């Protein structure tokens, strides 16, 4: 039972960090009008589910409504950011990551798995 829960949490973490999915690109001004600036970021995911309190870092870049993720040992992947008034969100593999504008060009939000908050996300400018 314990191993099953750990595997499920690990799978969710890897899925959120990898952020693979279908891509749809948009113009540069489209994302910027919603406060998501183009540029290079560090994508930080902090899990707080059960006994897994791990933190994962990935290099990402945002261009338009598309976030490209570089995960070591894997090809670059892209995910579509759905713009909202205060930032945006993206879905991957049953998990949803929200991004809300914070101070100094950063974005922060919750990571949801099966409708429950399972961690925090941060986009930190490089």
Q: What is the pLDDT of residue 6?
A: 52
Cα dist from 113 to 23, 28, 90, 93, 110, whole Å:
21, 30, 12, 9, 10
Please tell me the total count of domains within the chain.
1
pLDDT tens digit sequence for 73-107? 888 889 999 998 889 999 987 899 999 999 999 99
pLDDT tens digit sequence for 37-80? 899 999 999 988 777 788 989 999 999 899 998 877 888 889 99
Expressed as residue numbers, the domain containing 28 is 2-125
CA distance 15 to 96: 10
DSSP readout, 57-83? EEEEEEETTEEEEE-TTS--EEEE-EE
**CATH at residue 11:** 2.40.128
CA distance 25 to 66: 6
CA distance 58 to 56: 7
């Amino acid at each position: 039972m314990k191993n099953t829960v750990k595997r499920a949490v690990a799978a969710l973490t890897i899925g959120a960090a990898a952020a693979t999915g279908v891509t749809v690109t948009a113009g540069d001004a489209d994302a910027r009008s919603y406060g998501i600036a183009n540029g290079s970021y560090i994508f930080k995911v902090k899990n707080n589910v059960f006994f897994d309190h791990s933190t994962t870092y990935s290099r990402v870049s945002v261009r338009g409504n598309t976030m490209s993720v570089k995960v070591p040992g894997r090809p670059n992947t892209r995910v579509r950011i759905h713009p909202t008034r205060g930032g945006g969100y993206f879905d991957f593999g049953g998990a949803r990551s929200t991004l809300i504008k914070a101070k100094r060009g950063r974005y922060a939000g919750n990571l949801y798995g099966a409708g429950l908050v399972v961690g925090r996300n941060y986009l930190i400018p490089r």
